[in-house]
Chain A
Amino acid sequence: DAGVIQSPRHEVTEMGQEVTLRCKPISGHNSLFWYRQTMMRGLELLIYFNNNVPIDDSGMPEDRFSAKMPNASFSTLKIQPSEPRDSAVYFCASSLARGISTSGSETDTQYFGPGTRLTVL
């Protein structure tokens, strides 16, 4: 089975340009997460969706960032305009969120894509 797919894998752009990162979650998963990894802040959540609806966007740094999930198999993270401090690796993850369970089964585990390394010059 295909894992989480992200594109592009690498993006180099100039300050002020618009950047769009794309993610295709694992088929059948109903939750999608965008994380950012930097040396200074580590791995932090930007936004996540459940059943295509944004649930928590408190991690989105500012209005320059926006994310959409038009359907269950596609999400985008857009930065407009981009700035050098946006340089980071952006990860997309997906999971199958179920109801209450104490069985210890592997529900709700987030599986990550390969990431997009963004460099803003």
Chain B
Amino acid sequence: AQKVTQAQTEISVVEKEDVTLDCVYETRDTTYYLFWYKQPPSGELVFLIRRNSFDEQNEISGRYSWNFQKSTSSFNFTITASQVVDSAVYFCALRKGQGAQKLVFGQGTRLTINP
């Protein structure tokens, strides 16, 4: 069975602070994909990044970075110099294999950036 755990239910920081959102996953599949989605207050789900199990290189996109470590089954997300617009619920998700497969989501982390 697949499982995603986001242990941090809520995080609140002051603007310009760095913040890391944790994601731990469980799977028996050798081929799998990890995702992060953002859900702003408006409610839509916005795709941020996808990583496959064969690629452990860290990814950086502007102020966002992702650290994928198979040894600890973690796929953590760091926002550097946070901004108020980063306030949202962030979901980590896992999908097995290729093709049409369902996403298994974590419970989400509500991030509040205070001015």
Contacts and interface: CB of A to CB of B under 8 A. Distances in A.
Interface of A: 30-31, 33, 35, 42-45, 48-50, 55-56, 59, 89, 91, 93, 95, 97-102, 104, 106-115, 117
Contacts of A55: 100
A102 B52 contact: yes
Interface residues on B, range: 20 to 34
B100 A112 contact: no
Contacts, number: 71
Contact of B105 (A30, A42, A98): A42
B112 to A, nearest CB: 18
Shortest 9 CB-CB contacts between residues of A and residues of B? A31-B100, A112-B45, A50-B100, A97-B100, A43-B105, A45-B102, A97-B99, A114-B44, A102-B54
B33 A108 contact: yes
Contacts of B64: none
B102 A42 contact: no
Nearest to A6: B44
